Amino acid sequence: MNIENSQPIRPQNPSRPAGGASAANDNHSPASGSGKRGVIVAPPSGNTDNPDLPIVLHVGFDTLALAIKANIPDDLFEQLDAEQKTASDERREVVVVLEGITFLLSPHGGAGYRFILKGGQDGATWFFKKPNAKDKWGIRLSFGSFFMAMHGLGAAKAHVDHVTAKLGIRFGLDDVSISRADFCVDVLAPDFVLNPDRFVMHSKTGRRDHITTDDMAVHGKSGRVTSVTIGRPRNRQVIVYDKRAEVIAHNKSYWWLIWNHTLRTYVERGNGPVALCNVTLSPDPAHVRANRVWRVEFRAGKDLLKDRWGIRTWEQFFDRFGDLCREAGEVVRYVVPDMSDPNRARWPNHAMWDIVCAEMNDDLVEMRSGADPNPMKEVHREEHIAMLFRNLLGSSITLGALHGSDTDGLVEVFDDLAANMNAEVKADPERAAKQLQDAKDRYVFIKKRKPSM
């Protein structure tokens, strides 16, 4: 299935442009002064003149994992087993094409699964067990942040149905078990300062998913808090962190394109202050503060989904996950201190918290960025090329140093190196051809394709 063409490209939430409500909701009052006792209110209007209110850059799922009560067919197992032997012997991932769908097969399994197949950014990572009549839950899969941001929850379900049908995997509607779902909201908030002391947690006795201050982890550097994590992975987690810093640290460059796409759409619709017209978000260190993007992420683990909310199947997930997120925004709140009131539970929500929680009250199935994924793949490819060139250049200069060359002699060193490389290829063309094919396989999902005739 061609994910890119499976749904029309459009902004993520037509009823609520990024940054707040649509023009139809302009009568909403600002969140400040409201939202006491954890009540979730609608976000401020996107046409507000207040430049200090956060601008929502992205809303949607970040990670989705599920298990399927089924085993792969015997003929598929035999095919994968033979391919994995090749991968194991050569100690590398190999490309396998199954019913027209391309995967990278790992040379090993893991966590009780015999095969691990990666579908690239526009697919899922699949885990298959060896067929066993006594172990009916033989399949697990997960979607990463790129897929969920670009294509959304509806496309994830469609992708699962498409791939399993193609591979001859049969299962019923009740044979799906959602095991993890992360939902996030990214906001441009240059003036926001994360303070762990401003989180209020409502613990309820007798409940397995209650949260206390003991469940809080704080991280930062240079006297600045960059993330606060509250809760446990298998249950409920609420995380607020500097997404800009995380994107730079992990080289997730596609987020700049997603955020800038949203920002352009936001400005083109006449929302926000005029000053945003010339703003382009980037990793440029000269614009750290102006480009500060914070993420609020609600993570639901297996225990919370099943034990607390009775969420297992797709239908239950679509029906109840919005309520789960809404409760998470009430159980954990980020507040504005009211020194006249000693009861922290009565302190009002921070405006950003109200905006984030209100953004979750939309069609979860349709949430996707609306940005074109193709430029992002090109950027990813160019980044790999740039990284490899830097490594090649550095190694070549090091060779020059070992040969006693000076700066003027580097050109001769490079020429000799190129001549030696050509000689190596000519001396063993079969080995060079295999290395080239191995590299093409390794980067199968981002390599540049030849134009069709």
Share of the chain above pLDDT 90, in %: 46
Residues constituting the chain: 453
Q: What is the domain partition of the chain in residue ranges?
A: 15-59+182-371, 70-171, 375-442
Segment 396-423 mean pLDDT = 90
Spatial CA neighbour of 16 closest among 51, 41, 43, 34:
43
- What's the pLDDT at 4? 44
Residue with tokens 């769908």: 101
- What's the pLDDT at 44? 38
What does the pLDDT look like over 50-92, one tens digit per residue? 445 688 999 999 999 999 999 999 999 999 999 999 999 999 9
Segment 112-121 mean pLDDT = 95
Helix, strand and coil percent figures for the chain, each rounded to 5: 40, 20, 40
Segment 183-206 mean pLDDT = 83
Greatest extent of the chain over all pairs of C-alpha atoms, in Å:
82
> Distance between CA 158 and CA 48 in Å, rounded?
38
What does the pLDDT look like over 260-319, one tens digit per residue? 988 888 777 666 555 555 678 999 988 888 889 999 999 999 999 999 899 999 999 988
What SS3 state is found at 5? Answer: helix
Residue burial 141-163, b: 16+ Cβ < 10 Å; e: rest:
bbbbbbbbbbbbbbbbbbbbeeb
Contacts of 342 (CB under 8 A, 6+ apart): none
Assess whether pLDDT exceeds 60 at residue 39. no
Strand arrangement, sheet containing 176-188: 94-98, 101-105, 115-118, 125-128, 139-143, 55-68, 176-188, 293-300, 236-242, 224-231, 216-221
Q: What is the pLDDT confidence band of residue 361, given thresholds at 50, 70 and 90?
A: low
How far is residue 99 from each of residues 75, 76, 445, measured CA to CA in Å? 13, 10, 17
Segment 180-204 mean pLDDT = 88
Question: Quick one: how far is CA 210 from the chain centroid?
Answer: 27
Secondary structure letter of residue 125 according to DSSP: E
Question: Do the Cβ atoms of 118 and 136 come closer than 8 Å?
Answer: no
> Distance between CA 429 and CA 300 in Å, rounded?
52
Q: Which of 20-29, 117-126, 442-451 has the lowest mean pLDDT?
A: 20-29
> Distance between CA 189 and CA 75 in Å, rounded?
54
Which H/E stretch holds residue 328?
helix 314-331
Contacts of 332 (CB under 8 A, 6+ apart): 199, 200, 201, 202, 211, 230, 231, 238
Segment 13-30 mean pLDDT = 35
Please tell me the pTM assigned to this model: 0.73
Q: Where are the alpha helices (DSSP H) in 250-313?
A: 254-268, 302-303
Q: Which of 31-40, 219-228, 354-363, 402-411 has the lowest mean pLDDT?
A: 31-40
> Distance between CA 398 and CA 41 in Å, rounded?
61
Residue type, 88: S
